[in-house]
Amino acid sequence: MVDLAGMVMGSWDTPVAGLGWLKAGAIGQFGLAIVAAAVLIAGAARPSWHRGAAIAAYAIIALEIGWFLLTRMLVQDHP
């Protein structure tokens, strides 16, 4: 969400350096959100998968944080 907000705000007047990285970050965040939703639906549908779904959800959260930090670093370092 933060990446998407930065992308929208950055393109109001003139494109901000690194806008391409913000777009890539937003696409990655969206992809990980789809995967998270699929994992949660699969875990809810099959009681035997609850533990695996919970572990996968925590892993996806870590990936989301890492993706956000990587995108932020790329925007700052590569205009």
Give the start-to-end residue ranges of the domains of the chain.
2-77
Q: What is the per-residue pLDDT across 5-20, written as a single tens digit (0 to 9) for each?
A: 666 665 666 666 677 7
**CB–CB of 10/16 below 8 Å?**
yes
Q: Which stretches of the chain drop beneath a pLDDT of 70?
A: 1-17, 78-79
pLDDT at residue 21, rounded to an integer: 77
Can you give the pLDDT at residue 77?
Answer: 75
Count the alpha carbons within 13 Å of 25 in the hemisphere toward its beta carbon: 25
Secondary structure letter of residue 11 according to DSSP = T
Confidence (pLDDT) at 6: 64
- Claim: this prediction has a pTM higher than 0.75: no
